[in-house]
Amino acid sequence: MDTPEHAASAAAAPPPRIADLGTLKALGHPLRMQIFDALSLHGAATSSMLAERLGESSGAMSYHLRQLAQYDLVREVVGRGTARERWWERTPGALTVPPDHGSDPAVKAATQVVMDHVQHERESHLREFLDRGMHELPDEWLHASVMSTAHLRLTREQLDEASSELAHAVEAIVTRYRGMDLPGSRPVELQLNAFPLVDGEELPQ
């Protein structure tokens, strides 16, 4: 699972990094995950701006931003702001939370918390698009959007190959448009899911 990456701060992001237990625990706090999401989706902000967006105090924002910064999940924007009003941004580069998280119960529990939040946010954004976007967004933005689902019967090896190709395709798109921020642009979320149906039956060899 890759978390969203806002790319305004860097023309070329570093390679994806794998989330370790410390990183997972840092993201396991609900408010920290909301801060991480807000910076990913909307770009750099001050603690006051984040407090207004998330309905929390500026002091709470500052504390949790420092906690996220300890694990290089966010960073201060160099040359912007003042000592009293710092600007923060999501640290560039995709953060990967692998489904294969080993046998450590602590890692499994922390992974589950983070992945549950990510999936909840995905569903929330899609639901908001369906509930409000159809009525509030201009037709040209609706025509530029897509919702697509496909069903196949694949072996594990085929799913692994398809997932890899899809991930490379998304990365190529992200790389192409990273950091442009052209006039008329707005935050856009690309969602990619490829997984076996848990209730499905595996055909015999």
Q: pTM score, two decimals?
A: 0.77
User: Mind listing the pLDDT tens digit for each residue in 155-169?
Assistant: 999 999 999 999 899
Distance separating alpha carbons of residues 48 and 65, to the nearest angstrom: 12
Task: Identify the bridge partners of residue 17 per DSSP, sorted by sequence position.
Answer: 95
Between CA 191 and CA 185, with CA 31 as vertex, the angle to 5 degrees is 40
Q: What is the pLDDT along the chain (205 residues), one digit of tens a residue?
A: 555 544 444 445 677 788 888 999 999 899 999 999 999 988 999 999 999 999 999 999 999 999 999 999 999 998 887 777 899 999 988 888 876 656 778 888 888 889 999 899 999 999 999 999 989 999 999 999 999 899 999 999 999 999 999 989 998 998 899 888 899 999 999 988 888 888 888 888 8
Condensed to tens digits (0 to 9), the pLDDT of residues 100-129 reads 656 778 888 888 889 999 899 999 999 999
Tokens of residue 35, six digits? 């801060």
Burial class (CB in 10 A: 0-12, 13-18, 19+), 45: buried
Coil/strand/helix, residue 95: strand
Residue whose C-alpha is closest to residue 115's, from 9, 200, 197, 195: 195
* Token pair 């692994």 in the structure block, residue: 160
In this prediction, residue 31 carries a pLDDT of 94
